[in-house]
Structure 1
């Protein structure tokens, strides 16, 4: 079945010739035996251009999708590609992350310093299987990349802005810094931290966001918070701050920070906004994208400013490659990175600032007219969020394209067949 998918992909990438171009071409003769005409030859006609294929986005998941043994199906199906890359993962990190992924226990794998590099590494392993086992040419077949929070590092690797070595190493450093920031807050302030998803009706979402901003930030932007120091006279201590960590869809946001403060905020919303949003505690014990993460921003800024690449052949070069090969959409701005310096700034800040996932999807769907969406990595959360936003009637059906996810080898054939079947569809503008 998987080899059949490989043949589909090869057929999709093979150039299509006119039916007259090869079969009726005459053999070349030596110059001396050719008849030279006195009449000028007609200008060669330009072959009609092939209709452009629908635009394609590759997206990668964030934390929370990790699963013990998630590498096993890939090792079993594609040992030639998976085994060397898994050895490389352990070598880059300096410890046996692969053993934690394969053997767990789940509690150990879900710890931020293990979960983040595990998800990022698994995502890139799946992409490498597509490239090496099925001939998938990422640069030629993909128009945009993006990733949810942690997934942005995999998106930058796929887009050619980071080597795999540098991307994985930075992911580990980021995860360590974020976990350390949580522990520092607990030691300094006490209390319980985490994240809570809030689900409401789409019509209520703008008012909900405004009310939360007013309640917790007094109108200040998250960018302002990211730039401030820890002077309590300038802003409240982190224990008193809750921020919107993610705007995931038209009806879901995620709050992050002190759990006690989040409960107070949700009660405030229920009392004064006239509706009762559903609040669900996420399993993460780290308050990602909240002011607690400010120390991690400084760690990432220092890495991006001073560390050199660890990739073979790029030693002593800057970690960030510019330009990349494929536009990559930033979590912070919901637009593609525009320069090396902007990328370094936004990548450092993104562990504190709101993940504008919904805005990113809307930008690609409405302004860039992306019609094919391919999720790469463990779990189906990303596919569900994307499908709900761009699919017809909230499903994975998109006019002129579709939404697919490759989380397991059994899903490769469906995805590649879908890409092949939509390769030559013309995206007609909406009337």
Structure 2
């Protein structure tokens, strides 16, 4: 069985999507449509902008979403997923690819999400840190024992967990984790504490937009970050998507469940190869590849 997986923030690069735009009239049409929906020429930034331009909050998330979704559309009949999943932001791409959301609705939600997250980051200084070389349970316990807000945010693969929260609490947790034997506990250059309780204002903002958006019956199950299970009920998918901003990304558990449910090959749709690397660390025997037109 084929699982199509969609990357999240951090996978952007200068020139992303230009080959699709040049090669496919359908891609060109969708990129032009995206410029209209967003109200600014995101294609110019994607194709010609600098790395700093692409890091702008209002650009990064829509750019990755567009690259992934348009690639899946241009694949045409060769895009035949038995299941889909996306890492954080990538879940929105997955939901357009499997027919739960329309392209324009998905893009509007992603744009709203990016701006809501930026606003939440400005309310309270916060950060994230990557922890390598410890069991999940050890990291969870340290977060629980640390004063202030710090929580597990991204379960990326065994031995790689990202924590998120208040700056002081994250720094304290990093020191404690190093004492527990972490190979690394490194604060990341991010603007805020994604997938933590500090994203509650963003969750509330995005929830209103999600509630007003039509979710359809998908062509195949989506394995969501929050539940890690195969989801096909539009209302359940909607609930999980609303919870996603303040809940951890359970990528390890989602991939393990997909494997258990019969996934044999994982095809990454979008920029980069990060998810292929994570899947291989979760199960060496899994086949991985990049989507191609």
Name the TM-score, length of structure 1 as normaliser.
0.65
Deviation at 1:147, TM superposition (A): 0.0
- The equivalent of 2:234 in structure 1 is 340
Task: Provide the rounded CA distance (Å) in 1 between the counterparts of 2:29 and 2:234.
Answer: 31
Matched, 1:59 2:5: yes
Specify which of 60, 63, 72 is matched with residue 18 of structure 2. Answer: 72
Q: How many residues align?
A: 293
Task: Provide the rounded CA distance (Å) in 2 between the counterparts of 1:216 and 1:159.
Answer: 40
- The equivalent of 1:276 in structure 2 is 182
Task: Provide the rounded CA distance (Å) in 2 between the counterparts of 1:82 and 1:248.
Answer: 31
- The equivalent of 1:184 in structure 2 is 123
Task: Provide the rounded CA distance (Å) in 2 between the counterparts of 1:80 and 1:90.
Answer: 16
Matched, 1:165 2:116: no
Query: Structure 1: any 5+ residue segments left out of the alignment?
Result: 1-54, 187-192, 218-239, 309-318, 393-397, 407-411, 414-431
Q: Per the alignment, in what secondary structure is the counterpart of residue 222 of structure 2?
A: coil
Task: Provide the rounded CA distance (Å) in 2 between the counterparts of 1:267 and 1:81.
Answer: 51
Task: Provide the rounded CA distance (Å) in 1 between the counterparts of 2:229 and 2:137.
Answer: 24
Task: Provide the rounded CA distance (Å) in 1 between the counterparts of 2:247 and 2:146.
Answer: 14
Task: Provide the rounded CA distance (Å) in 2 between the counterparts of 1:212 and 1:340.
Answer: 36
Q: Per the alignment, in what secondary structure is the counterpart of residue 370 of structure 1?
A: coil
Matched, 1:145 2:145: no
Task: Provide the rounded CA distance (Å) in 2 between the counterparts of 1:114 and 1:165.
Answer: 16
- The equivalent of 1:154 in structure 2 is 93
> Residues 164 and 194 of structure 2 are in contact (CA less than 8 Å); yes or no, is this contact kept in structure 1?
yes
Deviation at 1:194, TM superposition (A): 2.2
Task: Provide the rounded CA distance (Å) in 2 between the counterparts of 1:276 and 1:372.
Answer: 31
The structure with the largest strand share of the pair is: 2
Deviation at 1:389, TM superposition (A): 1.7
What does 1:378-417 correspond to in 2, within 5 Å? 378-392=271-285, 398=286, 402-406=287-291, 412=292
> Residues 64 and 284 of structure 1 are in contact (CA less than 8 Å); yes or no, is this contact kept in structure 2?
no
Deviation at 1:213, TM superposition (A): 4.1
Alpha carbons of structure 1 residues 105 and 210: separation in structure 2 relative to 1, 3 Å: closer
Matched, 1:124 2:69: yes
RMSD, aligned CA: 1.8
Q: Per the alignment, in what secondary structure is the counterpart of residue 149 of structure 1?
A: coil
Q: Per the alignment, in what secondary structure is the counterpart of residue 66 of structure 1?
A: coil
What does 1:289-300 correspond to in 2, within 5 Å? 289-300=195-206
Name the TM-score, length of structure 2 as normaliser.
0.94
Deviation at 1:72, TM superposition (A): 2.0
Task: Provide the rounded CA distance (Å) in 1 between the counterparts of 2:280 and 2:186.
Answer: 21
> Residues 57 and 370 of structure 1 are in contact (CA less than 8 Å); yes or no, is this contact kept in structure 2?
yes
Task: Provide the rounded CA distance (Å) in 1 between the counterparts of 2:24 and 2:270.
Answer: 18
> Residues 64 and 283 of structure 1 are in contact (CA less than 8 Å); yes or no, is this contact kept in structure 2?
no
Larger-gyration structure (1/2): 1
Query: Structure 2: any 5+ residue segments left out of the alignment?
Result: none
Task: Provide the rounded CA distance (Å) in 1 between the counterparts of 2:225 and 2:157.
Answer: 14
What does 1:13-412 correspond to in 2, within 5 Å? 55-76=1-22, 78-131=23-76, 135-136=77-78, 138=79, 141-186=80-125, 193-200=126-133, 204-216=134-146, 240-271=148-179, 273=180, 275-305=181-211, 307-308=212-213, 319-321=214-216, 323-365=217-259, 367-392=260-285, 398=286, 402-406=287-291, 412=292
